């Protein structure tokens, strides 16, 4: 029962993080005035707590281990998590400078997100 509640919270938090990232992307793409400040605020108050909550609930779900998860799957998932987190914060860091660097970091970020979604949908 506890496993199911944690899993629901994990999924809701992931949805919140993805929605927030999509909103930040739309602000970045439209280049609205004050968009950089809003993306930074969104990152600090929504995305960062969601990322930390994802990490906490993910490790909790793994520790409860109702399913037999392979070591390889967990390693790939952690590498994906690190790539997604670093690429997002790199994107936010370069918001006020070179646009081409922002595009590269966003591409890495979305590739990492897609791989993590694939891994979560295809658990062993």
pLDDT of res. 71: 86
Q: pLDDT, tens digit, for every residue of 61-76?
A: 888 877 777 888 889 9
pLDDT of res. 120: 85
pLDDT of res. 102: 92
Q: Which residues of the chain have pLDDT under 50?
A: none
pLDDT of res. 69: 77
How far is residue 90's CA from residue 84's CA, in Å, rounded to a whole number? Answer: 10
Encoding tokens for residue 97?
A: 């400078």
What are the two backbone dihedrals, phi and then psi, of residue 66, each rounded to the nearest 5 degrees?
-80, -15
pLDDT of res. 70: 83
Query: How many Å separate Cα 106 from the centre of its chain?
Result: 12
Evaluate whether 69 touches 123 at the Cβ level (below 8 Å): yes
Encoding tokens for residue 110?
A: 């979305």
pLDDT of res. 84: 94
pLDDT of res. 34: 85
pTM of the model: 0.85
DSSP 31: T
How far is residue 44's CA from residue 6's CA, in Å, rounded to a whole number? Answer: 23
Evaluate whether 29 touches 6 at the Cβ level (below 8 Å): no
């Amino acid at each position: 029962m506890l496993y199911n509640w944690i899993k629901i919270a994990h999924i809701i938090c992931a949805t919140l993080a993805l929605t927030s990232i999509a909103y930040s992307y739309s602000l970045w793409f439209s280049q609205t005035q004050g968009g950089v400040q809003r993306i930074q605020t969104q990152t600090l108050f929504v995305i960062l707590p969601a990322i930390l909550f994802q990490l906490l609930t993910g490790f909790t779900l793994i520790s409860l281990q109702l399913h037999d998860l392979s070591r390889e799957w967990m390693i790939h998932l952690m590498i994906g998590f690190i790539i997604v987190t670093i690429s997002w914060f790199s994107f936010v860091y370069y918001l006020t400078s070179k646009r081409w660097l922002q595009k590269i970091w966003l591409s890495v970020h979305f590739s990492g997100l897609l791989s993590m979604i694939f891994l979560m949908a295809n658990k062993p």
